[in-house]
Amino acid sequence: MIRPLRVLGALATAAIGVLMVPFTVNDANAATAQSAYDFEFVSIEGDPMPLKTYQGKAMLVVNTASFCGYTPQYKGLEAVWKAYKDKGLVLVGVPSDSFAQEYDDNTKIKKFCDANYSITFPLTESNPVTGKNAHPFYKWVREAGGRTAVPSWNFNKVLIDSEGRFVRTFKSDVTPDSAELQAALTKALPKATSFPQH
């Protein structure tokens, strides 16, 4: 009887180890990443979305939601994207239900953004942005910027410079057209003034 129990115990331990691998790998990636460009999302259409595609550009990464008091900021974010995309900025929207104000279906999220705000900047699929299940990019943001850099609500804005380095975050109530954000964006941009479109 002892031997079968030992075998079962070993199998259970191995199974638990296998289940834990994805979390360990994600945490390791977040801890060892050299820049924001080391991370990859999946686009809202379901395609790979490696941030290294935007290497050499500054990024503004915003966790969005469809049913939030700040949702009208989509309009301002689209304006920022149009104003800065040819100057070396990529605006990335990360829909998230971390604060229970987002659809649980990526198709519905995309349809909402298209119908209500005509969004043209890149959107990822829905991702957690807080806690142990947060996307590795957001774990890296916490490592780079500390606890205050972690989104405390929807429409938190993470600014990355053109070297892929974390600059700072802007809380939800800092609007896309605010002088504070506009000045930081301008400073984070690369020196080149024109970039090909992706």
Q: How many residues would you count in the chain? A: 198
Q: Tell me how far apart the alpha carbons of residues 133 and 106 are, in angstroms, rounded to a whole number.
A: 18
Alpha helices, DSSP H, located in the chain:
2-32, 73-84, 106-117, 136-145, 179-188
Q: Tell me how far apart the alpha carbons of residues 52 and 50 are, in angstroms, rounded to a whole number.
A: 5
Catalytic residue status for 113:
no
- DSSP tag of 71: T
Q: Looking at 68, 83, 174, 189, which residue is catalytic?
A: 68
Q: Report the amino acid identity of residue 75.
A: K
Q: Tell me how far apart the alpha carbons of residues 42 and 24 are, in angstroms, rounded to a whole number.
A: 20
Q: Report the amino acid identity of residue 87.
A: K
CB 170 within 8 A of CB 60: no
Residues 6+ positions from 192 with CB-CB distance below 8 Å? 88
Chain mean position to CA 31: 16
Residue numbers annotated as active site? 68
